[in-house]
Structure 1
Amino acid sequence: MYYSVVDQGCKKHDDSLPLIGANTFPSALSTGDHGGEIATEIELIRSAEKEKIQQIANVKRYGEACNSLASGGLKVLQVTACNLRNVLEQLVEVVKYNPLGQISHALYDVGGEYRRNM
């Protein structure tokens, strides 16, 4: 039994055992010397300080304009989460009127914050 599991694991890694329904990547043998990975360089573009300030102001103005719709939707989202219901439908509505930070904080208030290393 142990050896068949080890053999199956080896076959997964050398691509001789295809996995249905999982992402598989071609090995170096079938794709050349890059092992299926092609290095690409993407230039990182940073916003200027003026652009950052403008974007923060935009978010604040947007929040003020949608305030009545925003707070009600967040309350419904919190109730949905507290009742252990599927929150996806409510999230689709809430993102129309709330920035990500407000949505995150509303969910943290009812469910706590995810911490990877507990």
Structure 2
Amino acid sequence: DFNDIRTTLQALIALYDNCNSLHTNAYDEAVTTPTEESVRRALAIQLIINREWGLAMNENPLQGSYIIDELTDLLEEAVLTEFERISERGGVLGAMETGYQRGRIQDESMLYEQRKHDGTLPIVGVNTFRNPHADDGTAAPATVELARATEQEKQSQLERVTDFQTRNADAARAALAELKRAAAGGENVFAVLMDAARVCSLQQITEAFFEVGGAYRRNV
């Protein structure tokens, strides 16, 4: 329920530092496909900042502040350190072969979850300052509308994919062969990937890459 408050502050900081692309999450995205009401609230954050919050119309209003400069320096130092780690592993592609980037993301995610559960990372309403009436029946019931596809919608989607694959069977076979050839040869696959996407499903493309490079599995 408090996520849109966090998103508002995050949006302000991003715009204060000249962010050129911004998306404000709906507060229930962690639970389900956002509802119409939550999407309106998320969009309203941007509209209010853009139309009503005058300070946001100034170019980088925090420039020159010691704490902002200090945090910027610390962030740049951390980014450069990470670049050096990737460079030591043979660059982006070399690091990918050992699963370095994926491992770092998973490690940080596990650390976040651990700190959230042991309380060292306080999150208001989640692990601290929780609703004291949440379990006694006096709190307002949490009614979150879960967006789920009906069985008819699922079958309709499957039928469309099957029909798409059938109609493009011959073209897909040739496109996937070219995609695998380019990937196996170490070429830039962007162009052939775009060609394949016109006649192949995502599953077909993914399986083609798995055939060439294998599927990554991390031991935790």
TM over 0.5: same fold?
A: yes
Superposed CA deviations along residues 87-107 of structure 1, whole A, max 9, x for unmatched, are: 111111111111111111111
1:64 and 2:118 equivalent? no
How many residues matched? Answer: 86
Q: Residue 108 of structure 1 corresponds to which residue in structure 2?
A: 210
- Runs of 4+ aligned structure 1 residues displaced above 4 Å come to none
Structure 2 residue runs without a partner (length 5+): 1-66, 80-123, 125-143
Distance 1:99 1:43, change over 3 A: farther
Structure 1 or 2: larger helix share?
A: 2
- Structure 1 residues not aligned, in runs of 5+: 1-13, 23-33, 35-41
The TM-score, its normalising length taken from structure 2, stands at 0.36
Is the alpha carbon distance of 1:91 and 1:43 closer, same or farther for their aligned partners in structure 2, counting shifts above 3 Å?
farther
Q: Find 1:48's aligned residue among 150, 159, 164.
A: 150
The one-letter code sitting in structure 1 at the alignment partner of 2:214 is G
Measure the CA separation in 2 of the matches of 1:75 and 1:111: 14
Match of 1:85 in 2: 187
> What CA distance in whole angstroms lies between the structure 1 residues aligned with 2:154 and 2:170?
26
| Higher-RCO chain (CA-CA 8 Å, sequence separation at least 6) | 1
Partner of 2:71: 17
SS in 2 for 1:17: helix
- The CA distance in 2 between the partners of 1:89 and 1:116, in whole Å, is 30
Query: What's the TM-score, normalizing by structure 1?
Result: 0.64
- 1:44 is displaced (CA, Å) by 4.3
Identity of aligned residues (%): 33
